[in-house]
Chain A
Amino acid sequence: MLKITCPWCGPRDEPEFTYGGQSHVARPSFDVDDATWARYLFVRDNPKGIHFERWCHTYGCAQWFNVARDTVSHEVLAVYRMGEPKPELGA
């Protein structure tokens, strides 16, 4: 059970949150070719290390935000609001 710090509510246990997959995935316009669209639909990062991902504090403020998490240690390296750029984590 992870401990995640909601940028609005503070540290809370994982069951209060919903996971939303990789963050910063740009949605292409609908006139792109099939390959580009398929990449958007199906291809995601699967890093051993830092992963930028979306979480929603479903049973709290219901706000979506971003988390940078180490997929090996599960350490939460950064938490930032939706729309903010990826932080520099130097790793």
Chain B
Amino acid sequence: MASFQPDSHATPGLGLGAFRLAAGGRVDRAKVMNFRWDGRPLTACAGDTLASALLAHGERLVGRGFKFHRPRGILSAGAEEPNGLVAVGSGDRLDPSARATLVRVHEGLEARPQNCWPSVRFDVGRALDFVAPLWPAGFYNKTFIWPSWHAYEGLIRRTAGLGDALHGADPERYDVANATCELLVVGAGAAGLAAALLASRAGATVVLVEQDAEFGGHLLVESCAIDGLPAAQWLGRALAELAANPRVSLLPATTAFGLYDHGHVGLLERVAERTPTSPVRHRYWRVRARGLVLASGALEQPWVFERNDLPGVMLAGAVRTYAQRYAVAAGRRVVFATNNDSAYLAALDLARAGVAVPGLVDSRAEPPRELADLLQTAGVPVYGGAVIAAATGGSRLAAVEIAPLDGAGARLRLECDAVGMSAGWAPAVHLWSHARGRLAFDPERQCFLPVAGTAPLSVAGALAGAHTLSHCFASAARAVAAEASRAGFAVDVGGALPKVEEPRSSPRVDARRVSPGGRRHRQWLDFQHDVTLADVDLALREGFDAIEHLKRYTTTGMSVDQGKTSNLNALLVVAELTGRAPDAVGTTTFRPPYTPVTLGALAGRQVGEFYAPRRRLPAHAEHERLGAVFEEAGGWMRPAWYPRAGESKEQAIAREVLAVRASAGLFDASPLGKFEIEGPEAARFLDAFYINNVRTLEVGRTRYGLMLNENGVIIDDGTIARLGPQHFVITTTSGGAARIGAWLDDWRQCEWPDQDVVVTPVTTQWATVALAGPKAREILSRLGPDIDLSPAAFPHLHVRVGSLAGVPTRLYRVSFSGELGYEINVPARYGAALWRALEDAGREFGIAPYGTEALLLLRLEKGFLHVGLDTDGTTAPSDVGWGEIALKKQADYVGKRSLTRPENVRADRLQLVGLVGEDELLIPGTHLRLDGTTEGSDGWVTSAAFSPTLGKRVALALLRGGRARTGQTVTLFDLGRTGRAEVAPTPFYDPKGERLHG
């Protein structure tokens, strides 16, 4: 019976592990890999998970509990694992909170436990456990409130949480892919495989998804025969058939994490797990499926008994999986505890593998005869009508105490180093619930099952309540028939289903899942968040009996595993304690994702420079040549300032401003939004968007325009130019170009579809250069324009169409700087040439290129508003000095009616004013307080800078009732500091506006 691999075998000193079975399993004993666990070298076989490799070496301790830091061991063999959360890798490639049950070991893998210090074997935090009664549910809410939560937050944040977050950028590469199919099958166990086979034989396009690296699900541990073949062979044949079909896509190591609208399913394919050389770590699949079969299986649930969290206490199905699939014995003596038939097969497999099984404890008074006979033949005693009352041992399991439920017999102590427990199965209904499918409690199976027809998809296998392979195959046929008619393909499911030779078993699960008696604060419901029966008792005493309240108060099911092994137990315990039916208690809401999804995968390749397209100006190379400092604005890379050698940012900006005031400056304004409005009703159409009168605008003239939304709030400004009776060109703010284009089109299509007008966005068709300063005309004249530039022929706020040095141009006389100014538009391909020509022409005048910083300062000196900076989502025309014009216009326009709403005529509105003062608090964001007010805010500074032209600090601010307060002083305040400033008239510079008419 000595079936363990001797330690001296394989790699010297380590072997394949003292708990590795000599025969069986699907791992490759010939391919031995080395990895490190908590810094120590260990070995694994190809096919091992980190969990199976650790168990093979008897490494029981894999982590520490979240709250009490109690020692914890592997519980499960799948995605539901609550204890085996480990950190894999190192540096920027660290993967925190990976489930050891899902991590495939590869050569050189590094993994370590989490939530323990200094080590998992000796953890200082364990001291918390000895004061555990002081840490009930809701402890935080009740305790950390004096003097304030913030006094404790720092310490608690350091103590709480699982794993370490990464701080550097993720160096891995990710991919996003889209796919469509006629049938998506989630889960490649017996039911999923059968569904894929049936649909693929009918010629449908099928995608089969399996979260495990290997297809097969339960078939990987099953020893019965299917169609006369051992289960493993039948599986191989089925997979070969599917792989040979070009209409079938097989996705192993892929998790369907969320089910969304209209057949959209999110998949996460862990590419590198299967192909370690792949440059792509994960691939996020967005699948649109016409038909959908969910065969996601069921998750075994733990028993609740005293100290059920000791390392060595595992789920029965997991014990079976480690033995059958990985050839690893969970212990040398394994006791089983169950309330249903499934654990019998696990115990049988262990006994047949030569592992000592001192007993199987069944809470049901009458154990299933056929299965019990099989066990007893294999030498395993069956204790009916009994439960494990308590587990004993220090940091690992030493024995269990068995108690008869009728209280008649004496307690029995069974020495063991592992327990395989089963308190029934919870179908993995998560994706079904994402689709808002209903659930109903099945009293026979003691779990919630999908109610067919309440979501647009079908379920099969254990998720549909099947408890044998035969039932799985039958449910798959039904599901495919239903989905074929939904997806529109023909399928014949009437043929013979695979024939299975398996022991007779019943789906019935005993309602008991909690051992009576025992200390309630030592009986765990949620291993990951350390929630015990005592916590539930307390929550109920305090009135948190609604399941969603109880969940949040006790934090049951709120950790990384989202309660995959705790929700059902907690719910049934609450039902029992409150005397309600499980259906009446209800389940908490399942939301995507089923298991955690790497954020990098969702981003895919849209990271770094690919995050968003970066737009370059037509003259970008010229700005680079001039040493511009670029800043991204509205997607454009724009020169912010042009520092000369030795200049600071402030010095450069001041020099640029003074050059414009004294001589001339050159600014690349190409990102300005530009739209052509043409057609017989162009004037009428545009008139509906501006507070300014567009119909009266003469051909050849431009006008400043403010645009509102229907609430009367300013959303954009720019110029309106009339090139012909039926031809306008408007400009918008650079940042607003796309938004305003969509805005105009929305109204044109939906509100005024009959108007004869065409709107064409031409923003990038034209390069725009602003030439500003007293020498602007002289410089421009040297470019050989065929346009008369004299002030009489071409005054301020006029537009001319002509040519410059033979290049077509639209020339505007407008000014955002307060100086004589032109905006020169040429076809974008001439943008760089125009820039160079102006530079050359202006050189003798000391022309200076200026960036967005100088532009904003020049306009601040003039008090010109910058929409979005000096205005917010409440600012109306009257708040910025345009009230009279807006109200005077007779015709309707968007937002007009709102200007006379009571809210818009209040005297205490925030209004734009100028501020002057020498206080250093006169900076953007500083709040303002009027004399007489002691709390709250009466406004804030929106723009402020030291004006190099005026030699003093100037600012714009939104101030309560500000337009009537010129000459008053206000208090500046910011984070406890205060200062004074005076409300001043604007413009600060050239108040009469003489210079721009020059």
Near A by CB (< 8 A), chain B positions 219-275 give: 260-264
| Chain B residues within 8 Å of A32, by CB | 897
Contact of A29 among B436, B742, B892 (CB under 8 A): B892
Q: A14, A27, A63 — which one has the most chain B CB atoms within 10 A of its CB?
A: A27
- When distances are taken between beta carbons in the complex, the residues of chain A under 8 Å from B745 are 62
Chain A contacts with B in 32-80, Cβ cutoff 8 A: 32, 34, 37-38, 40-41, 54, 56, 58, 62-64, 73-74, 76
The minimal Cβ–Cβ distance linking A20 to chain B, given in whole angstroms, is 7
The answer to whether A3 and B264 touch across the interface, beta carbons within 8 angstroms, is yes
B750 interface residue per 8 A CB criterion: yes
By the criterion CB–CB under 8 Å, are A83 and B753 in contact? yes
Sample of 18 more A-B contacts, CB < 8 Å, known A2-B261, A37-B898: A2-B262, A3-B288, A14-B261, A20-B750, A28-B897, A29-B892, A30-B896, A30-B897, A34-B902, A38-B901, A41-B710, A56-B742, A56-B746, A62-B745, A64-B750, A74-B261, A82-B749, A82-B753
A13: Cβ under 8 A from any B Cβ: yes
In Å, the complex CA distance between A62 and B896 comes to 28
Least CB distance, A77 to chain B, in whole angstroms: 13
Q: How far is the CB of B193 from chain A (nearest CB, A)?
A: 28
Cα–Cα distance between A1 and B176 once the two chains are bound (Å): 15
Q: How far is the CA of A34 from the CA of B261 in the complex (A)?
A: 40
Q: Chain B 883-905 against A: per-residue CB contact (8 Å), 1 yes, 0 no?
A: 00000000010001110011000
Q: Does B609 sit at the interface, judged by CB under 8 A?
A: no
> How many contacts between A and B, using CB within 8 angstroms?
52
Whether the pair B753, A34 counts as a contact (CB closer than 8 A) is no
Q: Does B931 contact A (CB under 8 A)?
A: no
User: Assuming A2-B262, A38-B901, A41-B711, is B749 touching A63 (CB within 8 A)?
Assistant: yes
Sort chain B's interface into a size bin. Answer: 20 to 34
Complex interface: chain B residues within 8 A of A74 (CB)? 261-262
**Bound CA span A83–B753, Å:** 8
**A1-25: which residues lie under 8 A (CB-CB) from chain B?**
1-3, 13-14, 18, 20
Cβ B892 vs Cβ A30 within 8 A: yes
Is there contact, CB below 8 Å, between A41 and B262? no
A1 contacts which chain B residues (CB < 8 A)?
260-262, 264, 286
Q: B751 in the interface, Cβ–Cβ < 8 Å?
A: yes
Q: Enumerate chain B interface residues (CB-CB to A < 8 A).
A: 260-264, 286, 288, 436, 710-711, 742, 745-746, 749-751, 753, 892, 896-898, 901-902
Asked whether, in the complex, the Cβ of A58 is within 8 Å of the Cβ of B749, the reply is no
Chain A residues lying within 8 Å of B749, measured Cβ to Cβ, are 63-64, 82
What's the Cα separation between A83 and B746 when bound, in Å? 13
| CB-CB nearest in chain A for B435 | A73
A27 to B745, CA, bound (A): 17
Once bound together, how far apart are the Cα atoms of A34 and B900, in whole Å? 9
Query: Given the complex of chains A and B, what is the CA–CA distance between A82 and B264 in angstroms?
Result: 27
| Neighbouring B residues of A29 by C-beta, 8 Å | 892
Q: How far is the CA of A1 from the CA of B753 in the complex (A)?
A: 30
Contact present for A58 and B750 (CB under 8 Å):
no
Q: Jot down 9 A-B pairs with beta carbons below 8 A, ordered by A.
A: A1-B261, A3-B263, A32-B897, A38-B901, A56-B742, A62-B745, A74-B261, A82-B750, A82-B753
Q: How far is the CB of B378 from chain A (nearest CB, A)?
A: 52
Q: Which residues of B contact A76 (CB under 8 A)?
A: 262
Q: How far is the CB of B771 from chain A (nearest CB, A)?
A: 35
Q: In whole Å, how far is B591's beta carbon from the nearest beta carbon of chain A?
A: 16
Return the chain B residue nearest A63 by Cβ. B749
| B750 adjacent to A54 (CB under 8 Å) | yes
Contact in complex: B898, A58 (CB < 8 Å): no
> Which of chain A's residues have a CB closer than 8 A to the CB of B286?
1
| Bound-state Cα–Cα, A3 to B289, Å | 11
A68 vs chain B, min Cβ distance (A) = 15
Contacts of B288 in A (CB 8 A): 3, 13
Q: Are A3 and B261 in contact (CB under 8 A)?
A: yes
